[in-house]
Amino acid sequence: MPDYATPAPAAPFTPRALYQDVAERLREQIFNRVLEPGSWIDEQKIAAELGISRTPLREALKVLAVEGLVTMKVRRGAYVTEMSRDDVSQVYHLLSLLESDAAALVAGQATPAQKAELATLHQQLEGQVGQRDAFFATNELFHLRLLQMAGNRWTQQIVTDLRKVMKLNRHHSLFKQGRLEESLAEHRAIMAAISAGDAEAARRLTRAHFDNGLEAAAL
């Protein structure tokens, strides 16, 4: 019989790589405007603040560059991405197409339990008009849950990245006076269309929702 060697034990799973934790820390700083759009990222300073070498920091910056949050410039280093008027318009256009398609699918195929879940999220929005941060978080959760229910993981991945990039926009549409209440009214109409199973109305209303958001976010 052949003499088979005893296989070596499998290496244990390692905890999340350090660069992933660093990427998450930088992501938070970008979203919270600790690192402003257009600003240069001082690698030496950040590495010292985090108590790490520049190797995991550079790996983290590569991750953020893929997400579009950071722009790498030859011989100049990394900068927080700054959104131009065209950038904002293009991202809104893509979100409008992808999310209106998802809304139509969900309106046509969602189970009663799924519709009830979306209705619960919408009711949370109704009660958070005066709580901007909470409203933003629930609003994003509503949109992402809608995408999950539509069942296209590629759309989910694209929209998740696009929504990260949209947080770079200095002129976020919901910052405009009165826009939050308008957005809520639009959500109300979308939710009614989904509850009624009206796919085309859900598609049309979702597109209008993003069109209005773009108008409010005009630079």
> What pLDDT is attached to residue 174?
58
Look over the chain and give the mean of its residue pLDDT values, rounded to a whole number.
87
In angstroms, rounded to a whole number, what is the distance separating the alpha carbons of residues 62 and 71? 9
In angstroms, rounded to a whole number, what is the distance separating the alpha carbons of residues 198 and 205? 11
Q: What does the pLDDT look like over 120-132, one tens digit per residue? A: 999 999 998 878 8
More confident position, 196 or 170: 196
User: Nearest Cα to 122, choosing from 194, 184, 78, 200?
Assistant: 184
Which whole number is the average pLDDT over 184-204? 96
> What pLDDT is attached to residue 218?
64
pLDDT at 219 over 50: no
pLDDT at 4 over 70: no
81-90, 176-185, 201-210, range with the lowest pLDDT: 176-185
Q: What is the CATH number of domain 85-216?
A: 1.20.120.530
In angstroms, rounded to a whole number, what is the distance separating the alpha carbons of residues 23 and 182? 34
pLDDT at 144 over 80: yes
In angstroms, rounded to a whole number, what is the distance separating the alpha carbons of residues 27 and 42? 15
> What pLDDT is attached to residue 5?
47
Which CATH number, 1.10.10.10, 1.10.540.10, 1.10.287.110, 3.40.50.10740, labels domain 18-80? 1.10.10.10
For the chain, give every domain's residue range. 18-80, 85-216
Report helix angle 153-166 to 132-150, nearest 10: 160
> What pLDDT is attached to residue 178?
76
Phi, then psi, of 73 in degrees rounded to 5: -115, 130
Amino acid symbol at 11 = A
pLDDT at 84 over 90: no
Q: What is the pTM of this model?
A: 0.78
Q: What does the pLDDT look like over 11-57, one tens digit per residue? A: 443 446 888 999 999 999 998 889 999 999 999 999 999 999 999 99
